[in-house]
Amino acid sequence: MVRLCFLVAAFSLSAVSVSAQFRQPTAELTPTIEQQVVRVGQTVTLVLSVELPDDIHVQSDQPRDPYVIPTLLSFTLPEGLTVQEITYPESSDFLLEDWDEPLAVFDHEFTIEVQLALDADLAPGEIVVPGSFLYQACDDRICFPPKTAGVEWRMDVQAALTP
């Protein structure tokens, strides 16, 4: 009988764990480049549009609570590219059930902009800019484990205009 109770309890816990994993929201990421023509020596604006289910938000890039995971866009850049600035949206306050202070969050749809400098001596051609998007999604009751998603921008870099 004890063995049966143990098996039922173990099965129940594993079912809850599997159920929670299936419920964990996933961000839909859309990378775009603002400029139509990209030339060496210029600065381009990369945009990452993030979309989550309506009832989901993510922690901001500067959370107030040290126990939550900040949203972070990071890069492993090819030589000749430099990130000058990453601009996250303004956060909004969200009070999680049984939480003392409001969390600083991004709503279910937002964009992140990146100013990327291309060196003047960069060789023209196709360049892939790989990035990594770390986020912790939450609903109105719980925060899910953090997730990391790969993202990349592709651009055809042209030679600089000659005067």
**Residue 17, pLDDT score:** 44
**Residue 15, pLDDT score:** 40
Tokens of 122: 């960069």
Predicted confidence (pLDDT) at residue 111 exceeds the cutoff of 50: yes
Beta-bridge partner residues of 48: 31, 112
How large is the average pLDDT for residues 138-162? 92
Spell out the domain ranges in the chain.
27-158
Of 2.60.40.1250, 3.40.640.10, 3.40.190.80, 3.40.605.10, which CATH number belongs to 27-158?
2.60.40.1250
Cβ atoms 154, 127 nearer than 8 A: yes
Which range has the worst mean pLDDT, 95-99, 100-104, 121-125, 128-132?
95-99
Q: Locate tokens 């107030």: which residue? A: 64
**Residue 18, pLDDT score:** 46
CA count, 13 A, side-chain hemisphere, 33: 18
Query: In one letter, which amino acid is 125?
Result: G
Spatial strand order in the sheet of 72-75: 38-39, 147-158, 125-135, 72-75
**78 CA to centre of own chain:** 20
